[in-house]
């Protein structure tokens, strides 16, 4: 029962991290469309200065990964453990990939 609760927590935390990361990337894309040409040339700096807090979402992904790894110890539910680990790794990767370029 406890391992199932850990897996559910890991999955929920990963989904929350992914959805917040997508939301922030949509905000970045809106800002990119709004600015003029000179600012677009240096938009990487604008992105880090205004939306640098998005990198803190990586902490949630790492916590989800640790919780999923702790659930391995109990055994059983291999598919759900694999899903939780892959989802948490995806949550970590999504933070560092510039998804906002897909929205422009």
- At 8-37, the pLDDT tens digits run 999 999 999 999 999 999 999 999 999 988
Rounded Cα distance between 19 and 11, Å, is 12
Helices (H) and strands (E) in the chain, counts: 6, 0
pLDDT in tens, 31-65: 999 998 888 888 889 889 999 999 999 999 999 99
Q: Residue 26 has what pLDDT? A: 94
pTM confidence score? 0.88
Query: Cβ(100)–Cβ(62) under 8 Å?
Result: no
Name the nearest CA neighbour of 18 among 99, 80, 83: 99
């Amino acid at each position: 029962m406890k391992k199932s609760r850990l897996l559910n927590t890991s999955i929920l935390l990963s989904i929350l991290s992914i959805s917040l990361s997508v939301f922030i990337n949509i905000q970045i894309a809106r800002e990119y469309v709004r600015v003029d040409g000179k600012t677009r040339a240096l938009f990487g700096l604008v992105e880090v200065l205004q939306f640098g807090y998005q990198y803190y979402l990586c902490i949630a992904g790492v916590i989800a990964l640790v919780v999923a790894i702790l659930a391995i110890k109990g055994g059983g539910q291999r598919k759900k453990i694999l899903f939780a680990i892959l989802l948490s790794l995806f949550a970590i990767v999504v933070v560092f990939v510039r998804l906002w370029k897909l929205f422009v």
